């Protein structure tokens, strides 16, 4: 079997999976609609029933029968019924399968968020252009931070960043930083709470301000590339997607607030946020 036959079989398999997923989704939608219709009908019937705080209510709690007045019943705020627990590895495997089949946006759509733009920065080195969507380094070498305006705490957020000018494809940080950070200096890559990747020649990975090296990241980004950051607040994960198809992942602390964190180094380096 040659390569074209394998690709054809693979495409057929993907189409079959898509069709089966769509059938499952439509079936679940029909069931949910039927349940919603039944709920709304019951709700209308209940409107005709008069209730009073003095009504006597009989309860069966774990096999024990209790009698009380309606006025004594209450719901504890912010304590709804718990959702069924799914093991993290099972949820991750399912999400990986959806991404592999190209169904992530259909099954688990990304949260809609306001358009992003840069805000806090060192104005002595970096200038913001085009409404804050473009950050441009000055004419001299030197690290300088530029942070996003929005704060993120939940859901999945995608950032597309275009490297419009990347001198010698040398060095540029893209990542996230804890939103409550007070910039101590220009080196935002080494701040506590900073997570991300040094694009270009070095292949540096930053986690909580400390770095390691990843040879797979070296020299795989260049000027005019568009890279994508994916912040998954719920799964506590930050991902980098490159035009080469490579993906890199970092675990981040849970229950935190985050801001986009970019650090420019070389003269006239220029990065654009590609809002959709």
Residue 103 lies in a domain: no
Q: Is residue 216 part of a domain?
A: yes
In a domain, 87, yes or no: no
Whether the model clears a pTM of 0.85, i.e. scores above it, the answer is no
Distance spanning both ends of the chain, measured CA to CA: 42
Range of the structural domain that residue 31 is part of: 3-72
pLDDT at residue 109, rounded to an integer: 64
Sign of CA dihedral 5, 10, 14, 16: positive
- Copy the structure tokens of residue 159: 């950032």
Averages of pLDDT over each 10 residues, the chain, 276 residues = 72 80 84 88 79 76 78 60 68 79 70 80 93 94 95 93 93 96 94 96 94 94 95 94 94 95 96 90
- Looking at the fold, whether 25 and 127 belong to one and the same domain comes out as no
| Secondary structure (H, E, C), the chain | CCHHHHHHHHHHHHHHHHHHHHHHHHHHHHHHHHHHHHHHHHHHHHHCCCCCCCCEEEEEECCEEEEEEHHHCCCCCCCCCCCCCCCHHHHHHHHHHHHHCCCHHHHCCCCCCCCCCEEEECCCCEEEEHHHCEEEECCCCCCEEEEECCCECCCEEEEEEEEEECHHHCEEEEEEEECCCCCCCCCHHHCCCEEEEEEECCCEEEECCEEEECHHHCCCCCCCCEEEEEEECCCCEEEEECCCCCEEEEECCCCCCEEEEEEECCCCCEEEECCC
Q: Is residue 268 domain-resident?
A: yes
- Which CATH number is 153's domain given? 2.60.120.920
Residue 77 lies in a domain: no
Q: What pLDDT, on a 0 to 100 scale, did the predictor assign at position 186?
A: 94
> 98 in a domain, yes or no?
no
Q: Are 244 and 175 members of one domain?
A: yes
Number of domains in the chain: 2
Does any domain span residue 143? Answer: yes
**Per-residue confidence (pLDDT) for residue 8, from 0 to 100:** 79
122 and 59 share a domain? no
Question: In terms of C-beta density within 10 A (0-12 exposed, 13-18 middle, 19 or more buried), how is residue 190 classed?
Answer: middle
90 assigned to some structural domain: no
Do residues 134 and 212 share a domain? yes
Task: Tell me, yes or no, whether 127 and 44 share the same domain.
Answer: no
Q: Are residues 164 and 219 in the same domain?
A: yes
Residue 136 sits in the same domain as residue 26 = no
Contact in structure between 196 and 173 (CB atoms under 8 Å): yes
Residues 236 and 162 both lie in one domain: yes
Residues 123 and 239 in one domain: yes
**164 and 37 in a common domain:** no
pLDDT at 153: 93
Same domain, 254 and 139: yes
Torsion (CA) 112, 117, 120, 125 in degrees, nearest 10:
150
**Is 54 in the same domain as 181?**
no
CB neighbour list of residue 98: distance below 8 Å, 6 or more residues apart:
104, 107, 108
Residue 26 pLDDT: 86
């Amino acid at each position: 079997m040659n390569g074209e036959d394998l690709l054809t079989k693979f495409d057929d398999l993907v189409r079959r999976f898509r069709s089966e997923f769509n059938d499952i989704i439509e079936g679940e939608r029909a069931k949910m609609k039927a349940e919603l219709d039944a709920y709304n009908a019951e709700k209308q019937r209940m409107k005709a029933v008069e209730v009073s705080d003095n009504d006597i209510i009989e309860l069966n709690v774990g096999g024990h029968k209790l009698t009380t007045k309606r006025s004594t019943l209450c719901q504890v705020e912010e304590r709804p019924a718990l959702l069924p627990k799914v093991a993290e590895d099972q949820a991750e495997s399912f999400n990986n399968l959806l991404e592999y089949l190209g169904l992530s946006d259909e099954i688990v759509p990304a949260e809609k968020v306001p358009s992003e733009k840069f805000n806090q920065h060192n104005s002595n080195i970096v200038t913001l252009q085009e409404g804050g969507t473009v950050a441009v380094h000055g004419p001299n070498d030197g690290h300088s931070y530029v942070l996003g305006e929005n704060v993120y705490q939940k859901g999945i957020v995608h950032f597309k960043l275009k490297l419009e000018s990347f001198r010698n494809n040398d060095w540029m940080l893209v990542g996230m930083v804890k939103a409550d950070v007070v910039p101590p200096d220009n080196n935002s890559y080494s701040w506590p709470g900073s997570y991300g990747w040094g694009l270009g020649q070095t292949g540096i990975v930053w986690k909580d301000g400390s770095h390691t090296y990843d040879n797979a990241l070296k020299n795989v980004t260049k000027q005019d590339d568009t890279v994508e950051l994916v912040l998954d607040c719920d799964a506590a994960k930050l991902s980098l997607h490159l035009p080469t198809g490579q993906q890199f992942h970092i675990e981040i602390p849970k229950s935190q607030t985050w801001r986009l964190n970019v650090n420019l180094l070389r003269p006239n380096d220029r990065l654009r946020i590609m809002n959709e």
